Amino acid sequence: MINLLVVSSLYPNQEQPQHGIFVEARLRKLIESGEVSARVIAPVPWFPKLLAKLPFVSKKYRAYSRVPKREVRQGIELEHPRYLVIPKVGVWLTPFFMLLSILWVARKIPKHTYDIVDGHYFYPDGVAVAMFAKLLGKPLTLTARGSDVNLLGQSWLPRKLILWAANAADANITVCQMLKDQLAGLGPIKTDIHVMRNGVDVNFFTPLGREELRKKWSMTALTVVSVGGLIRRKGHELVIDAVSKIPEAQLLIAGKGELEQELKNQIADLGLEDRVRMLGEVNQEALVELYSAADYMVLASSYEGWANVLLEAMACGCPVVAAPTGGTPEVVQKESKGILLPHRTPTEIVNALSAMQGNPPNRDLVREYALGYSWDETVKGLLSIFQRISNTKVGSDSQACKQV
């Protein structure tokens, strides 16, 4: 049995149940293998409860203030220490504040109860976790998720710290080949970099009764869904623009975020109130229903590491249209299952949807394609990495004892 201490601010909690759900999904699959046990430290930005009551405070910061100090999710114990984020200079200092928060709760966790520290997201989390593992002398794995390397890795100090963390790790993991190439491109890294893609739970994300669900979600025409946080990077505004040019189409947007009002204003300005619905954040069960019922899912992101929503949609039989960014070309490899846009524009989205309407993909074959992306191979690969570095650490400790 391998005992993990998973550390990342990218982990769901009772106030943010969809936040970092891909990290939770990977851990659950590892535990289901019967070869891993784990507990989690998931730091949360500190925000005072008294200020959270003020009317001008955003929903995000109110949620931070309500996250419990500890909770249990899916049978896994979670600790939520608070760390300080200072506006403007926070990008430089946050790793060190996060380290202090991790140390604060880790002092109560006996060192012998975990074998490996498993960190996710290279900056600031990975840097803080690498310092923590160094202090405790524990083996370390770090997983790159996307913007941690692609965006933050372009700034001078984060780049230096990411490189240090990558070299401090016993194994580095990326969720796609593109991220591996980018991580390696930051500078010399002596530790191996392994590509371990996120899988999709094909037993959970599975086609449901389509006609019944179309009635439930009031899908009366060609229906497109756009899923993701309401932030600039996700490109929901491009999908709205595209749907405005397809009179017979309706659009359902699932997600919440800072651009909610701006997107509502765009919908009103284009006169699309009767064809575009904003659903807010929806749970995983509702996503299965949406994917099963909708005609297509569009992901217009300017950047993605490994877009789980694409595989989740395809596992439910829903063909996809996606912008050619990040690791997405590694997911959408066959046009019969979806279309990879040549350019990230509303016009190209319209062209792609029109092309698929003219020759609709077979939903059974779309589902079959997604079956090749289950968690099985990823779990096997991760277990192999954990076993190797755990054995290496034990061996080096034994050798050190003999030399003494």
Q: Is the pLDDT of residue 24 over 70?
A: yes
Q: Are residues 270 and 343 in the same domain?
A: yes
Residue 319 CB burial class (10 angstroms; 0-12, 13-18, ≥19): buried
Note the pLDDT tens digit of each residue in 213-245. Answer: 999 999 999 999 999 999 999 999 999 999 999
Note the pLDDT tens digit of each residue in 287-307. Answer: 999 999 999 999 999 988 888
For 353-373, the DSSP string reads HHHHHHSPPPHHHHHHHHHTT
Q: Are residues 228 and 357 in the same domain?
A: yes
Q: CA 85, CA 101: separation in Å to the nearest integer?
A: 12
Q: Are residues 187 and 268 in the same domain?
A: no
Q: Which CATH number goes with the domain that contains 175?
A: 3.40.50.2000
Q: CA 307, CA 15: separation in Å to the nearest integer?
A: 23
Query: Which has more confidence, 367 or 338?
Result: 367
Q: CA 354, CA 356: separation in Å to the nearest integer?
A: 5
Residue 218 CB burial class (10 angstroms; 0-12, 13-18, ≥19): exposed
Average pLDDT, the chain: 91
User: How many CB atoms neighbour CB 128 within 10 A?
Assistant: 28
Q: Please report, rounded to a whole number, the percentage of residues in the chain having pLDDT higher than 90.
A: 77
pLDDT value at position 335?
64
Q: CA 8, CA 125: separation in Å to the nearest integer?
A: 6
Q: Are residues 194 and 271 in the same domain?
A: no
pLDDT level of residue 336 (50, 70, 90 thresholds): low
Q: CA 327, CA 306: separation in Å to the nearest integer?
A: 5
Note the pLDDT tens digit of each residue in 76-118. Answer: 999 999 999 887 777 789 999 999 999 999 999 999 999 999 9
Q: Is residue 165 part of a domain?
A: yes
Query: Residue with structure tokens 């604060």?
Result: 104
Q: Are residues 156 and 10 in the same domain?
A: yes
Q: CA 46, CA 86: separation in Å to the nearest integer?
A: 10
pLDDT value at position 11?
96
Q: Is residue 204 part of a domain?
A: no
Q: Are residues 215 and 277 in the same domain?
A: yes
What is the mean pLDDT of the segment spanning 173-182?
93
Q: Is the pLDDT of residue 49 over 90?
A: no
Q: Is residue 25 part of a domain?
A: yes
Q: Is residue 116 part of a domain?
A: yes
Tokens matching residue 201: 């739970």
pLDDT value at position 315?
96
Q: Give this prediction's pTM.
A: 0.85
Any idea what DSSP says for residue 123? I
Q: Is the pLDDT of residue 286 over 50?
A: yes
- Beta-bridged to residue 37, according to DSSP, are 3
Q: Are residues 31 and 176 in the same domain?
A: yes
For 224-287, the DSSP string reads EEEES-SSGGG-HHHHHHHHHT-TTEEEEEE--STTHHHHHHHHHHTT-TTTEEEEES--HHHH
pLDDT value at position 404?
34
Q: CA 188, CA 167: separation in Å to the nearest integer?
A: 8
Q: CA 123, CA 99: separation in Å to the nearest integer?
A: 12
Q: Is residue 350 part of a domain?
A: yes
Number of domains in the chain: 2
Q: From 45, 17, 58, select the one nearest 124 (Cα to Cα).
A: 45
Q: Are residues 160 and 59 in the same domain?
A: yes
pLDDT level of residue 197 (50, 70, 90 thresholds): very high
Q: Is residue 205 part of a domain?
A: no
pLDDT value at position 77?
94
pLDDT value at position 393?
57
Residue 87, preceding bond cis, omega within 30 degrees?
no
Q: CA 295, CA 310: separation in Å to the nearest integer?
A: 14
Q: Is residue 292 part of a domain?
A: yes
Q: Domain containing 42: what range?
A: 2-199+375-403
Q: Are residues 124 and 223 in the same domain?
A: no
Tokens matching residue 60: 């995000």
Residue type, 260: E
Q: Is residue 40 part of a domain?
A: yes
Q: Are residues 218 and 155 in the same domain?
A: no
Q: CA 371, CA 315: separation in Å to the nearest integer?
A: 7
pLDDT value at position 152?
76
Q: Are residues 360 and 383 in the same domain?
A: no
pLDDT value at position 334?
66
Residue type, 295: D
Q: CA 183, CA 171: separation in Å to the nearest integer?
A: 13
Q: Are residues 353 and 385 in the same domain?
A: no
